[in-house]
Structure 1
Amino acid sequence: MAAKDTSRRDFIKKSSLGGLGTALGIGTVIPAIAEQGLNTSEHSISDEKLHVKPRFHNWIVDEGEEWLELNTKQANLDWNIPVSQCALVLLDVWQRHYLKEPEERAEKIINERYVPLLKSCREYGMEVIHCPSPQVAKTHPNWVKLMSEAELKPIPDSWPPKEFRNLSGPYNVYRRPFTQKEAERNALTPLTFHPKVVPLNNEAVIAYGEELHRYCKQKGILFLFFAGFNTNACLITRDYGALQMNYRGYQVSVIRDCTTGMESRETQAGLLQTNGALLFFEMYGQYTVTSNEIISGFSRKA
């Protein structure tokens, strides 16, 4: 039993140190570019730097402490990174929500956090990328269209059966009940960009995760700072969301004061879904920062 515990702890320690090396760019960031056939000279690297201290959950206990969950804690890295390799990713920043409370929370966040954050990022030349869902992205003139029509079509697969995937025919009994309230929700005004977070000038509009990856590759972007809604839904599940882009190899930070989740009767008072999702990011490979940290982190403001 002791040997098994030791090996697992060694694995955790090695994994954490490996992740730290990647985050700090020790022998990892530039080779990753080379593997993709990119030359750093192809991308405009300015002297502008962004200083942030990304927060993560450290699973390694301090020296002399027992291996207990209670002894794990939050920690911070210290990054000075080229602004030319950074992007602010605005994910599903809608003009409305069908639930009143998340709509009110999001509206407050957009007015108090997004407006100054966007102003500062645009002023200091950080790439701003809008990811508003495929349906909305494809209607905007700034859609980058980096995927062919053939690639946009889903690859047909015989398993699971089409009827099962649609829960139709003999599988209809497994559907969740459809209510009149759902019809009322579907009849609301179509979702679109929030009026205070619309693409300006040539800011990219992205429809898919693969498209976001291709755009970042073109621009030499390695660090993605995510703001958007909802914390416990689209930020996790979208193919252009924080998790999937981290899996693709990018260093991902969620701006924790620029997001809110959908809560339940049991979680709303403490925003437990929102805070739990942020902790999930910090625990499993991503980071969190604040909007003020980014605003004050540009080198010319230091």
Structure 2
Amino acid sequence: MMLTLPGRYYRLHPSFDNPLGHAEEQLELDPARTGFLIVDAYGRGFDDDDDAGEGRTGIYTPDPVIRRIVREHIVPARDAARRAGLPVVHVTNHLSPGLAESTEWRNLSMRTCDVDVLEAWREPNDVLAYSDVVAPGPGEPLIRKQMYSGFYETTLDSTLRARDVKDLVVVGFDSRICLGNTVTEAMYRGYRVIVLRDCVRTFEYPETRDGELANLLAIRYIESNVGYTATSEEFIASCARLVPGDA
């Protein structure tokens, strides 16, 4: 039995000035070849009565919207994937031995985010620690990355191929940066990508906050240039049809 999922994509033809826009394709995913990838859903503050995020400032300030997305959308979708027998793989940031004071990415972070990762990412810390509710489960691979993409100088590709994964259902953060770069590189490597669009978010600039335009454009980029999107509700329902008594 296949996972059936309505995959939304965006048509740029017949011209950029007059695109046809959104369409849906009924996707059939082989459960034996479909992986569930969670990108950068780390950080304390997602558990019940968890105040570990209190006192953090700047870009690591706890975000109630992300907390809601994790608890109400990502976790139920992950649980559905587990019940359906899909391999669940996690990608997280870490302080790589390859990072030095002269690394341009470190200098960029200091310049634009006022964060020196050589200090902020030194473990243990609440920034990179996992809340219990979304932590990797027994046997679920945790791939540690340094840069935005989960494929850059990591074992993510070989981990997925060892599990014969062809289709990737992806959730996490941030839709423009780490998740966005990861799914783009997944497409480069021949994976069919389906992002659950209510399971992602990006930070908004002052001029994009009305309408959450940065996240809208990130999702539009995925639908136009990478793969498909669906919702967590649609994915959960699809998984439920595979599990007797779970529908």
Query: Where on the TM-score scale, by shorter chain, does this alignment land: which range?
Result: 0.7 to 0.9
The structure-2 alpha-carbon separation of the partners of 1:294 and 1:175, relative to structure 1 and needing over 3 Å to count, comes to closer
The aligned residue for residue 8 of structure 2 is: 55
Looking at structure 1, the residues matched to 38 and 161 of structure 2 have their Cα atoms a distance apart, in angstroms, of 18
Structure with the higher fraction of residues in helix conformation: 1
Q: CA deviation at 1:203?
A: 0.9
Secondary structure of the equivalent of 1:252? strand
Looking at structure 2, the residues matched to 178 and 52 of structure 1 have their Cα atoms a distance apart, in angstroms, of 39
Q: Deviations over 1:196-236 (max 9, x none)?
A: 11111111111251511101111110001110111111112
Secondary structure of the equivalent of 1:121? helix
Looking at structure 1, the residues matched to 28 and 109 of structure 2 have their Cα atoms a distance apart, in angstroms, of 50
The structure-2 alpha-carbon separation of the partners of 1:73 and 1:102, relative to structure 1 and needing over 3 Å to count, comes to farther
* 1:218 is the counterpart of 2:162: yes
> Would the aligned equivalents of 2:11 and 2:19 in 1 still touch at CA under 8 Å?
no
**Given residue 248 of structure 1, which amino acid in structure 2 is its aligned partner?**
R
Name the larger-Rg structure: 1
Q: CA deviation at 1:176?
A: 7.0
**Given residue 211 of structure 1, which amino acid in structure 2 is its aligned partner?**
T
Aligned partner of 1:195 among 132, 136, 158: 132
> Would the aligned equivalents of 1:95 and 1:195 in 2 still touch at CA under 8 Å?
no
Looking at structure 2, the residues matched to 99 and 166 of structure 1 have their Cα atoms a distance apart, in angstroms, of 19
Aligned partner of 2:76 among 101, 116, 129: 116
Looking at structure 2, the residues matched to 50 and 75 of structure 1 have their Cα atoms a distance apart, in angstroms, of 19
Structure with the higher fraction of residues in strand conformation: 2
> Would the aligned equivalents of 1:106 and 1:260 in 2 still touch at CA under 8 Å?
yes
**Given residue 32 of structure 2, which amino acid in structure 1 is its aligned partner?**
S
The aligned residue for residue 223 of structure 2 is: 282
* 1:91 is the counterpart of 2:39: yes
The structure-2 alpha-carbon separation of the partners of 1:270 and 1:49, relative to structure 1 and needing over 3 Å to count, comes to same
Aligned ranges 1:1-302 → 2 under 5 Å: 48-61=1-14, 67=15, 69-95=17-43, 98-99=58-59, 103-135=63-95, 166=104, 182=115, 186=120, 189-208=126-145, 209=151, 210-237=154-181, 241-298=182-239, 299-300=241-242
Secondary structure of the equivalent of 2:144? coil
Looking at structure 2, the residues matched to 153 and 57 of structure 1 have their Cα atoms a distance apart, in angstroms, of 39
Q: CA deviation at 1:177?
A: 5.2
Looking at structure 1, the residues matched to 185 and 220 of structure 2 have their Cα atoms a distance apart, in angstroms, of 17
Looking at structure 1, the residues matched to 32 and 11 of structure 2 have their Cα atoms a distance apart, in angstroms, of 29
The aligned residue for residue 48 of structure 2 is: none
CA RMSD of aligned residues (A): 3.3
The structure-2 alpha-carbon separation of the partners of 1:223 and 1:68, relative to structure 1 and needing over 3 Å to count, comes to closer
**Given residue 139 of structure 2, which amino acid in structure 1 is its aligned partner?**
N
Q: Deviations over 1:221-272 (max 9, x none)?
A: 00011101111111123xxx11111111110111100011011111112111
The aligned residue for residue 15 of structure 1 is: none
Is there any run of 5+ residues in structure 1 with no aligned partner, and where? 1-47, 62-66, 139-151, 155-161
Alignment TM-score, normalising by the size of structure 2: 0.76
State the aligned residue count. 218
Looking at structure 1, the residues matched to 235 and 142 of structure 2 have their Cα atoms a distance apart, in angstroms, of 22
The structure-2 alpha-carbon separation of the partners of 1:221 and 1:70, relative to structure 1 and needing over 3 Å to count, comes to same
**Given residue 256 of structure 1, which amino acid in structure 2 is its aligned partner?**
R
Alignment TM-score, normalising by the size of structure 1: 0.63
The structure-2 alpha-carbon separation of the partners of 1:177 and 1:285, relative to structure 1 and needing over 3 Å to count, comes to closer
